A and B are shown apart, each in its own frame.
Chain A
Amino acid sequence: MDPTITLILLQDGIVNGAIYALLALSLVLVFAVTRVVFIPQGEFVAYGALTYAALDAGQMPGSVWLLCALGAAACGASLWTQRRMLPPRALARLLAGTLGIPLAALLLTRELAPLRPGVLVQALLALLIVTPMAPYLYRVAFRPLAQASVLVLLIAAVGVHLAMGGMGLVLFGPEGSRAAGFSDGSLDLGSLTVPGQSLWIVGLTLALMLGLYGFFEFTLYGKALRATAVNRLGARLVGIGTAQSGEIAFSLAGLIGALSGILIVPLTTVYYDTGFIIGLKGFTAAIIGGMASYPGAALAALAVGVLESFSSFWASAFKEVIVFTAIIPVLLWRSLRGGVVEDEE
């Protein structure tokens, strides 16, 4: 194997690893704050990619209708759970959040989609359409189960994953899509040519990680989210609403998932069910990181990406097998050390 190929594989691995790292971070975040293993993460990747691709083709993405339906369902669910305590201001905020946002997305998409307004606007619009689905799903499927065990939450997550997968087929059809990238240029580094899109991926990933770090380290809401993860009862006792924390965590996860999809769809054809396997690799990284450590998950994600790209070179038929098998020694080592993530309460 010559050094050029090694470099190319390494570059591929880092680019994929960056995406896995983003997904792993959001999985850790959602799990820490809400104890939900966010299996539908992959669907957000696919939805983000396919929504962006539809906009790029000048079409109205079907996901916009799902957004409206989910918003209405979230509105109904929240009206029901908060029926005894809903001051007018909270009601206004609820309506704006669950009905206003989908309506705005719908109108904007109607206006802008036929105009093909360019990659940046299309990407932002796709984020606007896909991201709010995550907090809506939280309100509908997970918030009513907030007191349930991790296992029950996991079952609900699998249910949401299956439903979203099926909806994906209905909304986007069985064909795969590709779309324009953020940049057509490339960077020549000696024998290595780095595509502009790869730079976008790595750059945006780093920026997003820095942003998240700043959010958790320096803002009160970020600290409130960490507090909820560290001690749920303690957080409630200082007035941090676990429901709000869960909603913020889900929103971040939805945003990260959708953005990952938008970033990869120029590089690879995305089908309605492509996201699952990508999400699973993020999940592998999150597990290697112990579902608890952000740097651990990010490093593990890079390792997963590099391992994947090298195994696709040597034994491409087995690349998924090799990646997912990597989890076994790590789990063995973890369970021997006794460092298992336990279910509190």
Chain B
Amino acid sequence: MTPVLELQNVSVAYGGIPAVTGVSLRVAAGSIVTVIGPNGAGKSTLLNAVMGVLPAQGSIRFNGRDLRDAGVEARVQAGMSLVPELRELFASMSVEDNLRLGAFRHRAEGRAAATRGLDAIFALFPRLQERRRQKAATLSGGERQMLAMGRALMARPALLMLDEPSLGLAPLIVRDIFHTITELRRTGVAILLIEQNARAALQVSDHGYVLETGRVTLQGPSSDLAADKRIVELYLGHGTQ
């Protein structure tokens, strides 16, 4: 079966300075793959390149299709969604408007279809329903993360990419977010999850990659990685919760 996403030898540079070098990675349909690594390893750079926000070298194939010439909008149209590190919400617009715009890809289906999608998101994140008329700017950090994920899910993507969804959130909310990620598995969406919280990421994922200074240094089934001595020492040992 063709993987949803397949990267071969992908490199990204900022003005000549490499940030990601020769990364190869695959995400099978319906699976959760995580990329872990320290701050500054190039994780966000990699995701942004996959989404087309940054130009990249190497091959990026999505459902078997080469995305070389596709812009961000075309990738969304093809079924990718990214929840970026900075969330990029429409701050001065309401929660509901943010979510409805998430379904922009399906605009031809009309408002009623979008409303059904909205109800599904509200079932997943009841907090958003309570706040549906509020402006996105007034939300708390956890709610903003829920809104960003909800907005991405409104597109009903084949691949959902999450850039550090737990960043800056209180431990209880982090648990909720990871719980939601496992819930999403049932909808069949493939997930590429980027995290510094290696323990939680390896728990919810099927397969993991370790990225260090722009290169993949380790990869394997998540349960193996979680037991790997080097990982335990570097990411799961004392000091990291």
Q: What is A's interface to B at a CB cutoff of 8 Å? A: 84-85, 220, 223-224, 226-227, 230-231, 233-242
Q: Interface 1/0s, chain B 16-29, versus A by CB < 8 A?
A: 00000000000000
Among A84, A226, A234, A236, the residue within 8 A (CB) of B89 is: A234
Q: Is the CB of A85 within 8 A of B69?
A: yes
Which 7 pairs across A and B sit closest by C-beta, in order of nearness?
A239-B76, A234-B88, A84-B69, A236-B72, A239-B105, A230-B90, A241-B73
Q: Is the CB of B90 within 8 A of A239?
A: no
Residues of A close to B120: CB separation below 8 A: none
Among A84, A220, A233, A242, the residue within 8 A (CB) of B104 is: A220
Q: Is the CB of A237 within 8 A of B101?
A: no
| Complex Cα–Cα for A242 and B155 (A) | 18
What would 14 A/B residue contacts be, using CB atoms closer than 8 Å? A85-B74, A223-B101, A233-B84, A233-B88, A234-B88, A235-B101, A237-B72, A237-B76, A238-B76, A238-B155, A239-B72, A239-B76, A239-B77, A241-B73
Residues of B close to A223: CB separation below 8 A: 93, 97, 100-101
Residues of A close to B51: CB separation below 8 A: 237
Query: What number of A-B contacts does a CB cutoff of 8 Å give?
Result: 71
Given contacts A220-B100, A237-B81, 11 further A-B contacts (CB under 8 A): A85-B71, A220-B104, A226-B93, A227-B90, A227-B97, A230-B91, A230-B93, A237-B88, A238-B155, A239-B77, A239-B155
| Complex Cα–Cα for A314 and B98 (A) | 51
Shortest Cβ gap from B74 to chain A (Å): 7
Give the most central of B89, B93, B104, B107: most A CB within 10 Å: B104
Q: Is the CB of A240 within 8 A of B73?
A: yes
Q: Quick check: is B123 within 8 A (CB to CB) of the other chain?
A: no
Residues of B close to A85: CB separation below 8 A: 69-71, 74
Q: Quick check: is B92 within 8 A (CB to CB) of the other chain?
A: yes
Q: Is the CB of A224 within 8 A of B74?
A: no
Shortest Cβ gap from B157 to chain A (Å): 10
